[in-house]
Structures are given as C-alpha cells and as structure tokens.
Chains A and B, each alone.
Chain A
C-alpha cells in the first residue's frame, strides 16, 4: 500500500482531501449548527446547472459551477431575508431547477461531455496540480474570513435575533456564510462530486458535534475527522479499485452512524428542559 505514495496522483489526492477536509470542517460546522444542510444541498445541485452552462459556452465547467453556486448562495441569502417560511420549498425548487438546467445544457451542447461523471460523482484521484493550488488559496481564504468574523458568526448562528438587537447585521453575516458555503461546495465537487457534496460537508461536523462542547472544538474535530475520512476513503478506493467519492462518503457515514449511540455516554446531554 505504501508504494502508492510514489505516484504523484496519489499524493495529490491526499493533499486535495486534506484541504477539502479543513474547508469542510470550518464551514460544515456552521452548516450543521445552523441546520442549513438542505440549503447546502440546494446550492451544490444548482451548481450542476453551471457545469452544463460551462459545457454549452465552451468554458471550464468548474468556472460555470462556481458562478452559479455563488449566485445561488447570494440569491438564497436574499430569499431567506424576505421569506423565512418558504425557504424549504424554495430550496427544493432551486435544487431541481439547477439539475434540470444542467441536463438541458448538456443535451443541446454538440458532442460528448467528457468529464460529466467526475462532476457528478467526483474523482479525487484525478485532481491536477494547478487545482491543488486553487484549493489551497480557497481554503486559506475561507479560514481567514471565518477567523476574523468568528465571534459574530457564532453569535448570529446561535441567535440571529439577539445579534440583530446588538446591531451585528445578521443578514450581512449570513450572506458571507452562504457565499463561503458556495465556495466550499465548488471545491468539494472535485472530490466527491455534486451528488455527494452534502455528505462531506455535514457528516464530519455532525459526528464531531456529538462530542463537542464549543464551536472551536467542533471545527477542529470536524476538520480532523474529515482528514481521517478522506484519507481512509482514498486508500480503500485505490486498494479495491472502487469509486473514490462514494467510498469517502460511505466511510464517513459508517463512523457517523456508529458514533450516534455513544454521544450520551460522552457528554451526558439533556434532551429537553
């Protein structure tokens, strides 16, 4: 197994998994405590429309995905502000519309869409060196913004109304958080693909949450778990010659479901009043 480290593609895969895990740990923690998992799913599926658009326009599908993911994040933040109660339905609509637009764009584009499957299901073993650089810059950017805004992000995700009373502008903070979620989603598309993005964004954080007493513990725990999940998944995927994205998600899910019964023993949490 160790001989795999001799291959550049394998080392790149491990580095990509490491970077994605940190971004996921940081953003996923907020997504989980703010209960925005379906929102993140909506953004990632809408990004498929961007991939189709990229093919159609003859530009990089990933650039199309980034544009649509960020646009959707901003739009969702705006809708969230205006119509709280309908958010759930709107997320469903955005989710389906993005997928449908992607399919239509790919259909009307002449020729064959070569990497379509890797955008849908991800292929971390095919991450090129220049993408790694972009991922490193994105991860550093996401971490710095969260570090600067940390006390405000925690206050707004915990209690938006009180944050508003204190003059913190929760709407602006939520726009930033959703844009960061959009960026993370685009990064993750390379690793696990659009369909499995929510899993990598939420499972490490949801598992770490079972044992965390503070947001700091949660973020660090989720990042470390993400690194363990992606590394394990990449090794298994290489060893058994199975799809990497799906393997990473199955590993994450197994640990999450395995950890669920343990939480009461560790924290002794009270369920209600």
Chain B
C-alpha cells in the first residue's frame, strides 16, 4: 500500500476572529476522486488553499506526497474559482496554458523548453480546445474558458489536481462533458474537487468529505443513509436542496457498488 498523497493533520485556522477550520484531519490516497462538499462559507475553499500552501494554518501540518506543499508544488495542479479571473486580460489561450509550466523553470533566466511547449500542447489537446489556442481569453465562451483554466493546471503535469467549484459557471451539457474529462484524468492523477452543489457530483467520485468548520469524512464504501445522518450534522440545507436520496442511492449503486 502506497503512502497517502495528502495528509492533513489536526489543522486549526482562524480568520478575522472566527474559527474557520477546527481540528481538521484528512487523508487522501493516490487515485482517489475526492469530493469536498459543504455549505457556502463552511471553509471548503480555505481548506483547499491550506493544502496548496497558500494559507498557513495556525496549528497542525499538511504533507503533500511526504513533503511540504511548497516543496511539492510541481505535483500540484490548481483550478481556482472561475469568478476570480480577469477575462479581459490580454492573453491567448496558448500563453495562458503555457504559464502553467512556470513552476518547472529553475530560475528567472530560464525560458520554456520544447518539453514545456509540448506539455502545454498536450494539455490543450486533452481539454479539446486546440482550435481555440490562438484566441484571446476574452473572445471565448464561459465553458471554453473553464477548459482553458483546467488545461493550465494540466500543463504542469500534476500528480494531484485540485478544483474549486469548477462547474458553477458552466451550463449542464458542459458540466457533463467536463465530468467525462475528469473521469479520464482519474487514470493518471488524484483529483480533489470542492463543490457546494452535491446534485452535480460525478458518479465517479470515490470519497466524500463534508466541511463546515469541522470535517466529516466518508471513507467507507458501504455508506448508508443512517451514517450520513449521524456524520452530517452540518449541511441539512444542502442535503435538502441537493436531492439527497438520489445522491446517496447513487453512491450505493453506482460509485461504490461498481468497485466492490
């Protein structure tokens, strides 16, 4: 058994006098497709940023593939929330995706090599946006932009891909195609997906954690509705608006059932 790719150990974090994350421990193994769900403001994005090393916790440790997030940054691919982007920025899809290779350059004087350009081209190909590569990002649709952002993360050839609310700004057909792409990517990398919308969860998800200041993990494949009710004190509203019974049954029949 390989060691886990991500080990979060008893993290505490306060921001502006509020406890945002409290005593959170989380272990993610290689090739998991791990969904982190929870209500808005529950700390999902903050937890993701702690794993990425963007926010330092007040206490506790984060290990990524045995090292600190900073040491292992070349293994991390990040897809930030869509709304944080300035799409009026004058940059082509090609250049934006290639910028995902900057973490692989050793110093400020080194330029992109053939290998870097090939990796960018491959990521563009994977996300099926080759025909758009010379277009500026302000001149493509929302779904195309989302694919370009994921391509940038893939250009770095990450072992772990972390996505923050990737389907919020895309329409349903695009979201479906997007999950198809993710299930392909699962073959080669660990995927961590943050979302508040559990009705849109892919059937390929292998593990689910719920964050609402505290963390509730559902490692067990044989998850039952009783367990959900016990371990899920937080998102009563989410379960209500996310059509919970269908989701839970989906877990039993398709996701986890398929792996028995």
Task: Kindly provide the distance from the CB of A43 to the nearest chain B CB, expressed in whole angstroms.
Answer: 22
**Docked complex Cα distance between A74 and B96 (Å):** 29
B142 within 8 A of A: yes
- Judge whether B43 is part of the interface by a CB distance below 8 angstroms: no
Q: Is B88 in the interface zone, CB < 8 Å from A? A: yes
Q: Decide if A270 touches B138 in the complex (CB within 8 Å).
A: yes
| Distance between Cα atoms of A40 and B73 in the complex (Å) | 33
A162 at the interface (CB under 8 A from B): yes
Residue of B nearest to A215 (CB): B90
- The answer for the CA separation of A159 and B89 in the assembled complex, in Å, is 10
A67 at the interface (CB under 8 A from B): no
**A165 pairs with B141, CB closer than 8 A:** no
Whether a CB of chain A sits under 8 angstroms from the CB of B152 is yes
CA A159 to CA B81, docked complex, whole Å: 12
Interface-side segment among B1-9, B30-38, B101-109: B101-109
Q: Which residues of B are found within 8 Å of A269, using beta-carbon distances?
A: 88, 136, 138-139
Q: Which residues of B contact A267 (CB under 8 A)?
A: 136, 138-139
B90 touches A165 (CB 8 A): no
* Chain B CB within 8 A of A148 CB: yes
Residue B254 lies at the interface, judged by CB distance under 8 Å to chain A: no
- Which interface residue of B86, B109, B140, B169 has the most chain A CB atoms within 10 A? B86
* A268 touches B (CB below 8 Å): yes
Contacts of B96 in A (CB 8 A): 158
Taking a contact as CB atoms under 8 Å apart, the answer to whether A215 and B91 are in contact is yes
Within 8 A of B (CB), among A148-193: 148-149, 151-152, 154-155, 157-159, 161-168
> Contacts A154-B95, A214-B92, A214-B95; is A159 near B139 (CB within 8 Å)?
no
Smallest beta-carbon distance A36→chain B, Å? 13
Check: A213 CB closer than 8 A to any chain B CB.
Answer: yes
| Interchain CB contact under 8 A, A148 and B108 | yes
State whether B108 touches A213 (Cβ < 8 A): no
**Are B109 and A161 within 8 A (Cβ)?**
no
Chain B residues lying within 8 Å of A96, measured Cβ to Cβ, are none
Residue A198 is within 8 A (CB to CB) of chain B in the complex: no
Instruction: Name B73's contact: one of A33, A167, A273 (CB within 8 Å).
Output: A167
Could you tell me if B102 and A166 are in contact, using CB atoms closer than 8 angstroms?
yes
Q: A151-B102, A154-B95 are in contact. Are A167 and B70 (CB under 8 A)?
A: yes
Residues of B in contact, count (CB < 8 Å): 37
Q: Does residue A218 face the partner (Cβ distance < 8 Å to B)?
A: yes
Q: Is A88 an interface residue (CB 8 A)?
A: no
- Known A149-B108, A214-B90, A269-B88; judge A161-B136 contact (CB<8 A): no
A161 pairs with B80, CB closer than 8 A: yes
Tell me, yes or no, whether B54 is within 8 Å of chain A by CB: yes
When chains A and B are docked, how far (Å) is the Cα of A217 from the Cα of B90? 9
Contact, CB under 8 Å: B91 / A154: yes
Bound form: Cα–Cα A212–B136 in Å: 9
Of chain A, the residue at the smallest CB distance from B49 is A161
Q: Give the complex CA separation of A218 and B103 in angstroms.
A: 25
Chain A residues with Cβ below 8 Å from B139 are 267-270
Contact A213 B89 (CB under 8 A): no
Decide yes or no: A165 and B54 within 8 Å by CB, A215-B91, A218-B90, A269-B138 being known contacts: yes
Which of B80, B102, B111, B169 has most chain A Cβ within 10 Å? B102
| Inter-chain contact A165/B76, CB cutoff 8 Å | yes
Report B191-211 CB contacts with A as 1/0, cut-off 8 Å.
Answer: 000000000000000000000
- Tell me the minimal C-beta distance from B80 to chain A in angstroms: 6
A45 adjacent to chain B (CB < 8 Å): no
Contact, CB under 8 Å: A151 / B92:
no
Instruction: Output the nearest chain A residue to B103 by Cβ-Cβ distance.
Output: A166
Near A by CB (< 8 A), chain B positions 70-124 give 70, 73, 76, 78, 80, 82, 84-86, 88-92, 95-96, 99-100, 102-103, 108-109, 111-112
B111 contact set on A, CB distance < 8 A: 151
By a beta-carbon cutoff of 8 Å, the part of chain B in contact with chain A is 52-54, 70, 73, 76, 78, 80, 82, 84-86, 88-92, 95-96, 99-100, 102-103, 108-109, 111-112, 136, 138-142, 145, 152, 156, 169
30 contacts between A and B (CB under 8 A): A149-B108, A151-B111, A154-B91, A155-B102, A157-B89, A158-B86, A158-B96, A159-B85, A159-B99, A162-B78, A162-B152, A163-B102, A165-B53, A165-B76, A165-B103, A166-B73, A166-B103, A167-B70, A167-B73, A168-B102, A213-B92, A214-B90, A214-B92, A214-B136, A215-B90, A215-B91, A267-B138, A269-B136, A270-B140, A273-B141
Nearest 8 interchain pairs by C-beta: A166-B103, A273-B142, A213-B136, A212-B90, A269-B138, A155-B99, A167-B73, A165-B78
Given contacts A33-B89, A167-B103, 18 further A-B pairs with CB under 8 A are A33-B86, A148-B108, A155-B99, A158-B89, A158-B96, A158-B99, A159-B80, A161-B80, A164-B54, A166-B100, A209-B90, A213-B92, A214-B91, A214-B95, A215-B90, A267-B138, A267-B139, A268-B139
